[in-house]
A and B are shown apart, each in its own frame.
Chain A
Amino acid sequence: MSFVKRNTVLSSPRAGLTPSAPQQQQPKQETQLAPGLRPSPTDGRLTTSTGTASLDQLLAGHGGLPLGTCLLVEEQGTTDFSGILLRYYAAEGLVQGHQVHAVAFPPEWRHQLPGLASPDKKSKSASPAPAPEEKMKIAWRYESLGNNANAGASARGDSGAPFCHSFDLSKRLASSESKGTLNPISVGGSPSLDRKSVGTASPLKMLLKQLRAKLESSGSNAIHRLVVPSLLSPTLYPPGCAQPSEVLQFLHGLRALLRLYSTQLTAIITFPTSLFPRSSGLVRWIEILCDGVVELIPLPARLGAAPPPPSRSDPKANEQPQGMFKVYTLPVYHEKGGGGAESGQFRENLSFSLSASKGLVIKPYSLPPMLEDEQEKPSAAPKKDGLDF
């Protein structure tokens, strides 16, 4: 009796009471899941990786972006950290064999995607992966608590195929590594003449139509990723798109597509908040229409500081926060009402840093130790004196 009760109440019914049953189920699952998918440890819905392991961990304990949801990545200033996120997202999709739909990007964009990290590292992190399944499950549970120290091990799916690859920004994604297809979707045609010929049909609606056609024509097993870079930026989108009716209906339609193809489609949209401030009603509506909203706020470069990537041998230099990472809403989690997930990691102050080998790393922000500053000051003072003279 008590056994039955537990199963109904617990959010994670595989509490280890029946080790045999889950073990029997898991192998089946592995064979049937499309590559790059993994059931969420919190509620079992399928998730896929964003290509950035630390971002996966932030998503309310799901360990990835749940299928059928989208993420809005806002960025302040003129930096392009969110573009890096997009590239990782696209590269991950290509490596996993997903169909990646890139809006408003030229096909050359493909050659800017980061390549897979060197395999020797992978083999190292692969060795803990084939541990007994019991251990794997324990690792999963910790992952849902947000305590994962070893991203390499947890970033792997059950099947041994990696869930989130590690990429190297200094390399380029080789065509042999990408199993998926990259479909560029143009918005109203790049030259202005084209736009006129399209006529009255609004470019964003055309975009939705194209995406829908692609979704329909592909098989039911194909996993799709939609990449929408700097939405509404006038360099990529015709000016009419910034009309509330245009962009809101587009996002509404996208939301509908995501729900219709809730086992096949995910999307990441980046958005420049310097052009469209968050205090405007339009942006708020855009945020409401997206499932998850995060914002990147780059810190101003420190005056007089050494250039950030001086050498690879110095790991600390790479870990200096380059900006703050704010989470406003998360997919699924806030749709339910917000609260309750055990992983409260996203509530803390978060910072991000970018390195070529690790990509974008998001972690709790902590003030750097005072020691460094104290050392710097005396060293700087004499220099100034010297300059004055």
Chain B
Amino acid sequence: MTSRNIPHLLEPYLVIEPSQSQSQILLTGILGANTNWLLLRYLYTLLKSSSTSRSSLPSRPPAAAVSQPQGQRRLGTRMPIAVEPEFELRTSTPAQQQNGGDAGDQGESGNESVGVLLVSFLRDFAFWKESAGRLGLDLEGLGRRGKLGFVDGLCVGVGSGSDGEGVVVGGGGGLPVRRPPVPLAATGGSAGATGTVPGRGPPQVPRPATTTTTTTGGSSSQGHVEGEKWKRSLPSLAVADVSKTLHSALNELCQKNKKVVLVIDQLDFLLAATSDGNGLVSSALQDLLLDLREKSHATILTMSADDPLIASQVTTLDKDHASFVLSLAHEAEMVVSLRLLDTGIAKDVSGVVRITRGGDTGGEKQIEEKEYLYHVGGDGGVRVFERGQ
């Protein structure tokens, strides 16, 4: 179970300690070795404690049980999937544990736990929900409880593509844009089929859930929007709009959580797709990031670091991208880069994960530089191991 959710070797790198305030972690991937699984592990590590604190909140006893050995305390409260990793997470962060113990109240430590703002430019919420669900993380539930904010940077293209609707949608975000097709799909016979399919395999399971929830909410659309206010979508890809949306989403989360970790998936797309070659977008994005970092506890960014984008700086697109990613790497405390095997393709290895110190070494945490191999299983489980193991 542990290896399935959080690989042992990566554990120390996934934890963001309280001392690392306003740190930045950069995850880079390339074509064929993207960062999705790694980002999911980060999300899991960040949100797991709050999702179990929910389960422990209704049952008050935990406050009394703080003094008990952890193994026992956990037994009653957590869900079966979360058992091992959660336990080890806690042990690996003694500092947090101490804080919770001093407070003497589990509920308070629950409040203190982090909120996460997930901004995704290339992937929709359904993907994150499905993948996180496989780890035992209920993003939908976390969102409703104010632990998670989601900004949809993918479906923005659709909104701006059909201008008229984009305007109508306006403040409500892309949700109305998002919703219509789903009930369409749900009403049809094909959805009935998907209903029967799930028995055949796990990944299908989360999908009918989305369709059912959306169809039930479809009739009373107003209430539905309010219920899912934590999901936003960008009005356009312009940096000003992005900035506005991100700031409001972040502010909202900050009100509910003491610490907010900002997670942006492939911000570099914005640079590539909207840049007009004069470097304005690049600097605007960097300013935006600085502003956001000031408000958030930590920032996790994923970027593409393919050779054509980093090494061969021929076109302005390449140059902008390279300078953007490199400058962020210099600001980062840690850089985790994924790539394919240099020696070719192997059946039991998906790629190489390399952890290096970033340019910002001011943090107290000593980062041990390592290089491991990883393998992603068909069920989404990840194995991380040393070469030769």
Contact = CB atoms under 8 A, between A and B. Distances in A.
B273 A252 contact: yes
Contact of B158 (A11, A212, A279, A293): A212
B64 interface: no
A337 interface: yes
Contacts of A221: 188-190
A284 B304 contact: yes
Contacts of B315: 280-282
Contacts of A109: none
A249 B126 CA distance: 21
Contact of A261 (B181, B204, B308, B376): B181
B269 A39 contact: no
Nearest to B189: A32
A287 B374 CA distance: 23
A280 B322 CA distance: 13
B161 interface: yes
Contacts of B127: 259, 335
Contacts of A21: 199
A347 interface: yes
A263 B195 CA distance: 13
Given A208-B157, A282-B315, A339 B375 contact: yes
Contacts of B347: 344, 347
A46 B350 contact: no
Determine the interface band of chain A, counting residues with CB < 8 A from chain B: 35 or more
Interface stretch (A22-30, A161-169, A181-189): A22-30
A22 B161 CA distance: 43
Interface in B310-361: 312, 314-315, 317-318, 321, 345, 347-351
A43 B37 contact: no
B379 interface: yes
A293 B372 CA distance: 26
Interface string A219-233: 111000000000000
A281 B308 contact: yes
A208 B180 CA distance: 17
A151 interface: no
A378 interface: no
Contact of A256 (B33, B156, B272): B156
B158 A338 contact: no
B33 A248 contact: no
B116 to A, nearest CB: 20
Contacts of A264: 181, 185, 190
Contacts of A249: 157, 237, 273-274
Contacts of B9: none
A46 B317 contact: no
A209 B162 contact: yes
A256 B237 CA distance: 13
Given A34-B190, A43-B202, A44-B197, A336 B376 contact: yes
B161 A284 contact: no
A160 interface: no
Interface string A238-281: 00000011001100111111011111100000000000001111
B182 to A, nearest CB: 8
A111 to B, nearest CB: 31
Interface in B229-280: 237, 269, 272-276
Nearest to B377: A340
Nearest to B347: A344
B273 A245 contact: yes
B157 A253 contact: yes
A138 interface: no
B181 A334 contact: no
Given A249-B157, A252-B157, A340 B272 contact: no
A263 B194 contact: yes
A297 interface: no
A253 B131 contact: no
B32 interface: yes
A339 B161 contact: no
Contact of B192 (A32, A287, A338): A32
A337 B37 contact: yes
B199 A13 contact: yes
Contact of A12 (B36, B200, B306, B351): B200
Interface string B42-57: 0000000000000000
Residue among A11, A40, A254, A285 having the largest count of chain B Cβ atoms under 10 Å: A285
A382 to B, nearest CB: 43
B201 A12 contact: yes
Contact of A334 (B34, B269, B304, B377): B34
A334 B157 contact: no
Interface string B165-195: 0000000000000101110111111111110
B196 A28 contact: yes
Nearest to B154: A256
Interface in B140-175: 154-158, 160-162
B382 A284 contact: no
Contact of B308 (A8, A215, A279, A336): A279
B11 interface: no
Contacts of A341: 378
Interface string B104-131: 0000000000000000011110110001
A220 B31 contact: no
Contacts of A208: 157-158, 161
Contact of A13 (B158, B188, B200, B349): B200
B198 interface: yes
Given A39-B200, A335-B34, A259 B189 contact: no
Contacts of A281: 272, 306, 308-309, 312, 314-315, 317-318, 321
Contacts of B180: 216
A380 interface: no
A68 to B, nearest CB: 9
Contact of B272 (A248, A255, A334): A248
Nearest 3 CB-CB pairs, A to B? A253-B157, A337-B376, A339-B350
18 contacts: A11-B202, A25-B199, A44-B204, A212-B161, A216-B180, A219-B188, A245-B274, A249-B237, A253-B160, A256-B158, A264-B181, A280-B308, A281-B312, A281-B314, A288-B306, A334-B34, A337-B382, A340-B375
Given A43-B200, A249-B273, A260-B124, 10 more contacts: A11-B201, A13-B200, A25-B199, A44-B201, A208-B161, A212-B162, A244-B272, A260-B178, A284-B31, A288-B304
Interface of B: 31-34, 36-37, 121-124, 126-127, 131, 154-158, 160-162, 178, 180-182, 184-194, 196-204, 207, 237, 269, 272-276, 304, 306-309, 312, 314-315, 317-318, 321, 345, 347-351, 374-380, 382
